[in-house]
Amino acid sequence: MKTRCPWLKLTNPKYVKYHDYEWGRPIRSDRKHFEYLTLEGAQAGLSWETILNKRENYRIAFDQFQFEKIAKYNNRKVESLLKNPGIVRNRLKVESTITNAKAFIRVRKEFGSFNKFIWRYVDNSPIQNNYKLLKDYPSKTELSDTISKDLKARGFKFVGSTIVYSYLQAAGLVNDHSRKCFLHPANN
């Protein structure tokens, strides 16, 4: 059996698949960046497993995370989303997705893409950490503090430092696969 990160819930096949094929792998697609930011924000106060189990519902409800479309959502669309049992029906989280889509578009206009904007924080190369135990993992870092402040200044919501750090891990800007995990570069 493969050794995996200590935080992984092995009894959930979706979680294992997410860990093995997505988490910590560098993404370069703006739509994927927006999806990850949205889902990490939706997780606030909940477990990642809850969000992961609702992920397909999110994709359907939020037009496959097409930020251009989401930026144009109106009050009727918000009310419809708040009735959707397949997503987290929290008004602030739903409305923040629309706010963030608009901010995301502004960042793209300024930098050419969100991908260019975010990867410049790590000089276009993932930060490789070497944590072994669950207690070793930080919930936020100086980098996530800096990015969180920048995103908030640009109008983003639900982008606190802990949410941003989770996003950086998921999007592969920070590789936090455990030193014991089969996906840690030292084990390949």
- Count of other CB atoms within 10 angstroms of residue 153: 9
Identified catalytic residue from 23, 36, 40, 165: 40
Name the active-site residue from 22, 48, 49, 137.
48
Residue 48 annotated as catalytic: yes
C-alpha triplet 179, 185, 188: angle, nearest 5°: 105
Round the CA-based radius of gyration of the chain to a whole number and report it. 16
Active site residue 7: no
**What gap in Å lies between CA 7 and CA 5, rounded to an integer?**
6
Q: CB neighbours of 8 closer than 8 A, spacing ≥ 6?
A: 15, 16, 19
Active-site annotation holder among 18, 22, 95, 121: 18
Return the SS3 of 127.
Answer: strand
40 belongs to the catalytic site: yes
Concatenate the DSSP letters of all residues of 53-97 into one string: HHHHHHHHHTGGG-HHHHTT--HHHHHHHHT-TTS---HHHHHHH
Positions marked catalytic = 18, 40, 48
